[in-house]
Amino acid sequence: MRCLSAILILCITACLVPYAWGAAAKAPARKAAAAPAEKAAEEPAEKPEAEKTPPETTKPSATTEAGERLEKQVAELEEKLMTLTQYEMDLQLAISKAVMKATEALGNKPKFKLDKDNERKPTPEMREQQKILRACVQQIQALDARYSQLMSAVRTLQRDRAAAELKQRLDRLDQQIQTKHRVNLTKIGDLQTEACDFKLAVGTYTGVLASLPESDKQERENLKYKIAGAHENSGDYRQALTVYKELYDAMPASERAAQLNLMLRMASLYERNSDYKKALELYQEVKRNLRQGQTVGGLETSIIRCESKLGGKGR
């Protein structure tokens, strides 16, 4: 019996000793695995990108003294533009009434008469009309000078590096004032044309044309017609023809046949410049492009006149 008990105790001991050794071998591994977790607990995690403090900048935010100053200056310029626009509307109404009065002053009476030296002189009615129209021109010029001052102030701020955050507002002001300037100059040119100050009108329209981007094709074309007409009315037929021809040559060939008035205008100017061959060619071109039932007064007479200048040749 004692022998059996001793054997049982030896068996239990043999089983427990390997288990204790295995537990001891595993303990350091658990400690090593826990170490990184403890280290992570000791060192705070890196902040997300959104929570990082942004670097110092030099932009003039609205909270800085420079930003507040610029914001105030831009707001003042915007207010000045609104005030000036309202004044322009009132002025335009007054000018419209003055132009109507000038038209009534002339009525159906002739603008010019020949003096004893066979020179054209304005009639008294025409002089009255010119006086009114020229006064209107001076008023618009004074208005445009105020727009120019505003433009100068805007561009001074645009050159300021600190105004970068206000660039869009300043650019918008710049564009609005440029448009106003072109409109004012065009009105001045129209009034100068009506007052028969054609050479002044040419200079005014040319200034508008120079400020227009190439992309504004229709507006540029309209201005060129006005420039050519002013040249023609001033007696500068060669320059008028140059501008009309530029317009004609710029058109697609498919559209030229429909430009009867332009061809007639050019033919007349060629004839005035004694270039009867080119004048005849254009008169005949007009005749070929007349639609059924369409007529042009004096066209046959013009053709015959040019042919006679060329010795009866050309038909």
Residue 244 falls within a domain, yes or no?
A: no
Residue 61 falls within a domain, yes or no?
A: no
Residue 21 falls within a domain, yes or no?
A: no
Tens of pLDDT, residue by residue, the chain (315 residues): 444 455 444 444 444 444 444 444 444 444 444 444 444 445 555 555 545 555 444 445 445 677 788 889 999 999 999 999 999 999 999 999 999 999 998 888 999 998 877 788 999 999 999 999 999 999 999 999 999 999 999 999 988 877 787 889 999 999 999 999 999 999 999 999 999 999 999 999 999 999 998 899 999 999 999 999 999 999 999 999 999 999 999 999 888 888 999 999 999 999 999 999 999 999 999 999 998 888 899 999 999 999 999 987 555
Residue 114 falls within a domain, yes or no?
A: yes
CATH code for position 170: 1.20.58
Residue 127 falls within a domain, yes or no?
A: yes
Residue 189 falls within a domain, yes or no?
A: yes
* Total Cβ atoms within 10 A of residue 8: 10
Residue 222 falls within a domain, yes or no?
A: no
The pTM of this model reads 0.75
CA separation for the pair 162, 180 (Å, rounded)? 27
Dump pLDDT digits (tens) for 160-170.
Answer: 877 787 889 99
- State which residues form the domain around 136: 67-196
Dump pLDDT digits (tens) for 96-144.
Answer: 999 999 999 888 899 999 887 778 899 999 999 999 999 999 999 999 9
Residue 54 falls within a domain, yes or no?
A: no
CA angle (32, 38, 41) in 5-degree steps? 155
Count the domains in the chain.
Answer: 1
Beta bridge partners of 112: 122
